Every structure is written in C-alpha cells, then in structure tokens.
Amino acid sequence: MKIDRVETFVLKVPLGAGRFYSSQAEFPERNSLLVRLTTADGLVGWGEGGQYGPAEPVEACIESVLGPVLMAMPDASPAVVWERLYTLSRDFGQKGSYIEAISAIDIALWDLLGKELGVPVSTLMGGGSGSGSRPTGPAGTTRTPSSTRHVTWGPWPRRSPGTRPTGSRC
C-alpha cells in the first residue's frame, strides 16, 4: 500500500461559557485533528489525534515531518510505518504531539488496511470473542448512576438491578 496524499483537518467547537479541563489547564473549546490518507489506488483512510491540548502542534508534526516520510515509503503497512515514524522521532518525540500524530496516522492506516482487505478493523485487531459476554464496570457491576442514560451495548438480555453477572470476567 502506497500513500499518495496526507491531509489534516483541525476541528474546533467553542464551549461558550463552559470549559473543558485537562489535568493541567482549562480550554474554552474542544478540538481534535483528523488525518485523511489517500492511497495510489484512491482508497481513503481516516485517523484522529490532537484531543489533548491544541491540535495545531499535532498538525505541524504530520505536515512538516511525518507526512513527507510516510509518502516516501513504498510499504505503508501499519506496523512498518509505526516503527519507522517512532524511530525517526524517538530522540525528540516520545510523548505529546509526535505520539498523537503517529497515533492519528496509525488509525488511518488500519482504516485503509481494513478497506483494502474488505474486513472491519475490529477483525484485523483480533475480532470479538464471540462469547456473548456482557461488558461490565468496576467490580463486575453493570449498574449506572441514576443521572446517566442506559446504553445498550448488544443483544444481551437485561438483568434485574442488583443482580450479579454470570460467567467469567477478565
């Protein structure tokens, strides 16, 4: 798989009077960065990064450093690209913007690989267990606070409140 084009899109949503708080700062808007990779065959894959702080530094990492390296690679399989980009930035980018940029590119590459093979990315990652087990919260509970809306995760039967889940838990 050969990448012909790398595009980035910074998304910003103002919060008005509200604020988003990270562990170190408050932000007046939520933002994210999308990366769109296009192959020589015209397939398009999407990835996301840049949610932790301003998205522009992540965009700069992709546009100025990582994107050109990616487009020069003859084999853009996810593992090969991740290793090459991480090795390239290891001395100066072990965390923060470069890792977010590599992550966004990696997500887009997995999206492309799934499209190329005609399978969902979840299948490429090992697929579901097929056991029909129900997701649980801390200590195996499935209860949600009364202030939250119940979300149905699958075709599993509902249990009465306060009953314990059956089967094994990881």
Question: Long-range contacts: 82-89, Cβ < 8 Å, 24+?
Answer: 82/106, 89/61, 89/65
Output the six-digit token pair for 58: 């992540």
Kindly list the structural domains of the chain, giving each domain's residue range(s) and its CATH number in brackets, ordered by start. 3-122 (3.30.390.10)
Tokens standing for 73?
Answer: 């690679």
The token duo for 75 is: 């084999």
Helix (H, G, I), strand (E, B) or coil at 61: helix
* pLDDT, tens digit only, all 170 positions of the chain: 899 999 999 998 888 888 877 777 888 888 889 999 999 999 999 999 977 778 899 999 999 999 999 999 999 999 999 999 999 998 887 788 999 999 999 999 999 999 999 998 888 888 765 665 566 555 555 555 544 444 444 444 444 555 555 554 44
Could you write out the three-class secondary structure of 156-169? CCCCCCCCCCCCCC
